Amino acid sequence: MNEAEVPPVTAAILVIGDEILSGRTKDKNIGHIAERLTEVGIDLKEVRVVPDEEDEIVAALNALRVKFDYVFTTGGIGPTHDDITADAVAKAFGVGIDVDPRARDMLLEYIAEKDLNEARLRMARIPFGASLVVNPVSKAPGFNIGNVYVMAGVPRIMHAMLEAIIPTLRTGVPMLSRTVLANAKEGDIAAPLGDIAKRNRDVIIGSYPFLGETGPNTNIVVRSRSEARVEAVAALVAEMLVAVGAAKVS
């Protein structure tokens, strides 16, 4: 199959955590997951951040899991009272939940049996029918049920879990991108850029203004699953920039 025949694979992220909504913790997971999914050809189409409230988690999860091929959650799988993600996911799927012997064994690789108190055992509570996602950092596993992947919120642990998950996913043809630095103000090139976009609807052209050292500047990003099309349209953009008198640096 060539890239046009492979159906796109879509995903959403559900970030669970009061600490993100209060601004106390600045999320670093969304950007990382977005980048990795893009690299393997999965299109991230939506992100939601919800508080540590069961009803909100259940509602968001059920909205996202029917709409996208995969949903990745982060946060709320620790040992404390505010860690309610596993229970909320079980509720969303309408399944039971209990301490999973496989998960308990994983915890015992890291935690001495005498320290495996009731709170820590909460981290082994896994919805019925889920498979486990290994956690090479601190052992307490994530899990996968249906098309939902439940990961830790601590970035280092989440990164490791995501790398364990990715090889198991159906992936698509990666979306490729080429960035052309316009050396022009966005408003000076918007019309010819819009013309290029109109004539090349099979590629996605984004225009991203930023304040550079020499004043307002713009990055033009051309995206497609076809390398040939990315290169061809990036070349059109570069030619346009020369034609309107903007220097081209790519």
Euclidean distance between CA atoms 232 and 229, whole angstroms: 5
Cβ proximity to its own copies: between 145 and 222 the closer is 222
Question: Quick one: three-class SS letters along 34-86?
Answer: HHHHHHHCEEEEEEEEECCCHHHHHHHHHHHHHHCCEEEEECCCCCCCCCCHH
Distance CA 207, CA 188 (A): 12
Q: Which is nearer to its own copies, 19 or 87 (CB)?
A: 19
Task: Identify the sign of the CA torsion 69, 73, 77, 78.
Answer: positive
Q: Which is nearer to its own copies, 148 or 203 (CB)?
A: 203
Q: Which of 129, 194 has the CB closer to its own copies?
A: 194
Q: In whole angstroms, how close is the CB of 105 to its own copies at the nearest point?
A: 17
Chain centroid offset of residue 172 CA: 15
Our CB check for its own copies shows the closer of 102 and 156 to be 156
Q: How far is the CB of 156 from its own copies (least distance, A)?
A: 7
For the bound state, the minimum distance from the C-beta of residue 60 to its own copies, rounded and expressed in Å, comes to 8
Non-local CB neighbours of 78 within 8 Å, separated by 6+ positions: 123, 140, 152
Cβ at position 120, least distance to its own copies in Å: 4
Please, which residues have CB within 8 angstroms of residue 247's CB and are 6 or more apart in sequence? Answer: 183, 241
Query: Considering beta carbons, is residue 95 or 248 the nearer one to its own copies?
Result: 248
Interface contacts to its own copies, rule CB under 8 A: 15, 18-27, 30-38, 43-52, 56, 78-83, 111, 115, 117-120, 122-123, 138, 154, 156, 175, 177, 186-188, 190-191, 193-194, 197-198, 204-211, 216, 221, 223
d(CA 60, CA 48): 8
Query: SS3 for 33?
Result: helix
- Least separation in angstroms between residue 5's CB and its own copies is 22
To the nearest whole angstrom, how small is the minimum distance from the Cβ of residue 129 to its own copies? 26
